[in-house]
Amino acid sequence: MAARYKSDLKYSDVTPERVYMNRRQLMAGAAALGLGSIAGPAAAQEEDLVLNSFDDITSYNNFYEFGTGKSDPKQYAGALTTDPWSIVIDGLVERPGTYDIADILKDKAIEERIYRFRCVEAWAMVVPWNGFELKDLLDQVGVLPSAKYVSFETLVRPEEMVGQRRPILEWPYREGLRLDEAMHPLTLMSTGLYGQELPNQNGAPIRLVVPWKYGFKSIKSIVRISLTEEQPDISWNMAIPGEYGFFSNVNPNVDHPRWSQATERVIGGGLFARRRPTLMFNGYEEEVASLYDGMDLSEFF
């Protein structure tokens, strides 16, 4: 089990996006500040990792509610209204209800544990997220013993989300985690990056971050969280079940039916950047592999 990462780093202490640091510098900087908040992969790549720039992170996105192109979210997401915002939390919880995001963030148990700078390598980017562990929110609403899964839904608002005017997927976008995955300390609810509010194209005002899974698991602009006993339906599995499974763990040993997953191209390195080997669980094998003991990960992909 990974250690719980805590930080009292202020927004003003966050390294500007223009300043690049390699893995050793990131770790040294965290140690100097007394942090365990650099949640990087246990296994190192041949080259050092660097923080992606704010422009990298906000210009190259998958957010089909705004279109299928990587640049579409930045172009069209400005139309999305994110204030006020509330999340319905229901199902197998002790305190179901509709929770305003401002109230969630002011809750004492969550406020004191918000990450001001937590660097996570995810999906060939290194992103400094702001947010809190999903576990903290679930603890606040009280998970009932019969709950085994957590499901999530994205906002449906086609008048502001132009991609929802087309049947690209069955809206709303749905995702889900097993409860033990959701309660893992690496599973974040992000409300910002680089010390700033989360940009619309990155899933404002609140999104999931699950760094050992493929990016589409980290659902954006969340409006509902439900605790269930049965495994929930998820959008890509509903659309193409032969290609996208429920777990969607990064596994270089299992190819997608239409492409190899053995290597990846680092975002921000340019079109001709050298590809590198994909790491099991995106490099977080030491922290999360025990969640899947005894499972055939080629069957449960």
| Residue 257, pLDDT score | 86
- Read off the pLDDT of residues 64-86 as tens digits, 9 standing for 90 and up: 999 999 999 999 999 999 999 99
Name the pLDDT band for 112 (thresholds 50, 70, 90): confident
285: amino acid identity, one letter: E
What percentage of the chain has pLDDT greater than the value 90?
Answer: 65
| Residue 81, pLDDT score | 98
Section 285-293 average pLDDT? 96
| Residue 116, pLDDT score | 61
Mean per-residue pLDDT over the chain, rounded: 84
| Residue 113, pLDDT score | 76
| Residue 261, pLDDT score | 87
Given a cut of 70, whether residue 256 has pLDDT beyond it is: yes
pTM value? 0.85
**Beta strand extents in the chain (DSSP E only):** 38-39, 86-91, 97-100, 115-122, 125-133, 149-154, 174-178, 188-193, 196-197, 207-209, 222-228, 263-265, 275-277
Compute the distance between CA of residue 70 and CA of residue 98 in angstroms, rounded to an integer: 32
Section 144-170 average pLDDT? 98
Name the pLDDT band for 122 (thresholds 50, 70, 90): low
Given a cut of 60, whether residue 36 has pLDDT beyond it is: no
Compute the distance between CA of residue 273 and CA of residue 276 in angstroms, rounded to an integer: 9
| Residue 9, pLDDT score | 37
CA 102-107-111 angle, to 5 degrees, is 90
- Domain architecture of the chain: domains with CATH: 11-247 (3.90.420.10)
| Residue 267, pLDDT score | 81
| Residue 123, pLDDT score | 61
| Residue 136, pLDDT score | 95
- Read off the pLDDT of residues 4-25 as tens digits, 9 standing for 90 and up: 233 333 333 444 444 434 443 4
Section 168-194 average pLDDT? 96
CA 239-181-41 angle, to 5 degrees, is 100
Given a cut of 70, whether residue 255 has pLDDT beyond it is: yes
Section 248-269 average pLDDT? 87
Given a cut of 70, whether residue 43 has pLDDT beyond it is: no
| Residue 275, pLDDT score | 83
- Read off the pLDDT of residues 207-221 as tens digits, 9 standing for 90 and up: 999 999 999 999 999
Name the pLDDT band for 52 (thresholds 50, 70, 90): confident
